[in-house]
Amino acid sequence: MIRFNRRYFGKLAAMLAAGSALPVEEIIAEPAKAVAGGSDRSFPAGFLWGSATASYQVEGAAKEDGRGVSIWDTFSHTPGKTANGDTGDVADDSYHRFPEDIALMKQLGLTACRFSIAWPRIFPDGTGKPNQKGIDHYRIFCEALLNAGVTPFCTLYHWDLPQALEDKGGWQNKETSKAFAEYAGYTAGKLGDVIKNWMTMNEMASFIDLGYGSGVHAPGLKLSKQKLAQAKHHAVLGHGLAVQAIRANAGKGARVGCAENARTTIPAYNAPEHIAAAKKAFVEENAPYLTVMHTGKYTEGYLEKLGADAPVFTAEEMKAIAAPTDFQGINCYTAEPVRASTNARGYEVMPRPSSYPHMASQWLTIGPEALYWVPKIAAETLGIKEIYITENGCSSDDVVAADGQVYDTDRVMYLNAYLTQLQRSVSEGAPVKGYFLWSLLDNYEWADGYGKRFGITYVDFNTQKRTPKLSSKFYANLIARGGL
Ligand code: FCB
């Protein structure tokens, strides 16, 4: 490849018109750097490349091997709650087809896999008698991952709460926080030899706010402000108690964190006052979850805003909530532009005009710069030392072309843009150690059912045939080159 000396471009037309001989050596400035096998935009050696899935979204086998009923079974089987009445009864049938899924991971060159354990497979009733068949399943799965050279990253709660616990109040009941810690400790004790990287929960901000606030997710409740604030408190308490239980039971080398969908505040544009505002907003907007988990305190702003609706808590609980973790997982899809303001908080989260671009899911507005700013801001404001991007990806209106392939060029564009920003962040020192793409497979997208496809592998839900999309080739190429 040849690179031209840009200074000549203006003169070229005139020279050509006059029929003069072209000074080739001056026009060619330098040979371009070879690109094959190397990249200016590389990630550090040892950076983990993974995919992410969750039990209810991929496993199926809802009634097999002693699995109990979860709130998502109940919710998805309630008419009117999910698109088309879709349920996760079969999903990707990954409970049976996981060897094929792991073969896909190998083909991609993944070094890590984020998956979740279904609580009702381990304790069908939430507490009490454990189910050995559940433990056996995840042991076999993890051994297969390890044999393929893929490191397991396990989430203990990706929203499938045993229905028996919901019947006693679910996350409104402090007993659920304790039951979660017992389940976490028990499972870590049984699987600590094959799983070293543990995440307590996935996205408290989703399963509480959507499940108990707006009611669009299981269990479909719309609680009062006070009850909702208390449920949030029970979630972070459950996380903290589980961190302690995992440490006590998992054995040597266990590392513990959680995967949270932080509010991804970014500066409206690159100006000192807006950067400062985005930092303030990050701490304040994440007050009920990420901030309290890393500081052991609810911010004054949060407590003031809630007033009489603030959660009831003890000093001992606050200590447990802030149990030290080894890493923080951040699920990052969108960005929230923030600007400096003269209001009491000093910032304003900006509105989005209706022309703001989004992917196939309405909520999935495009904001690649989140992967530049959020790791930096999280590290600086909350002192987080090790970060994984535990989810990033997008839905596309995928179609199978006449040749049987899926050309998801929009997903490639999305991933390319976000990963470029992540590389920029890491190269400037943000402590991000790995990236998990959501998702390996098209799967059950909660209340959106099977209509929203997030996979880099297309799944025909009638036949369970898996077809890697263009984006999977993009990802494999990036992993092989170690960069963009
Ligand atoms: C996240 C969830 C995950 C998946 C993606 C698209 O909020 O954690 O299960 O649904 O969104």
What is the per-residue DSSP string for 394-428?
--B---B-TTS-B--HHHHHHHHHHHHHHHHHHHT
Task: Specify the DSSP class assigned to residue 268.
Answer: S
Average pLDDT estimate for 282-308: 98
The rounded Å distance from CA 95 to ligand 1 centre is 19
Q: Is residue 54 in contact with ligand 1, taking CB distance under 6 Å?
A: yes
Task: Specify the DSSP class assigned to residue 126.
Answer: S
Give the confidence band of 24 by pLDDT, cuts at 50, 70, 90.
very low
Average pLDDT across the chain, whole number: 94
The rounded Å distance from CA 52 to ligand 1 centre is 9
Question: What is the third-level CATH fold of 49-481?
Answer: TIM Barrel (3.20.20)
Catalytic annotation, pick one of 203, 260, 284, 285: 203
Of 217, 263, 331, best ligand 1 pocket probe by most atoms within 8 Å of the beta carbon:
331
pTM for this prediction: 0.92
pLDDT exceeds 90 at position 53: yes
pLDDT exceeds 80 at position 35: no
| 391: annotated active-site residue | yes
Could you give the CA distance from residue 394 to residue 419 in angstroms, rounded to a whole number?
13
| 59: annotated active-site residue | no
Segment 147-177, tens digit of pLDDT: 999 999 999 999 999 999 999 999 999 999 9
Q: In this structure, are strands 151-157 and 432-438 parallel, antiparallel, or unpaired? A: unpaired
**Across-strand partners of 388?**
329, 434
Give the confidence band of 40 by pLDDT, cuts at 50, 70, 90.
confident
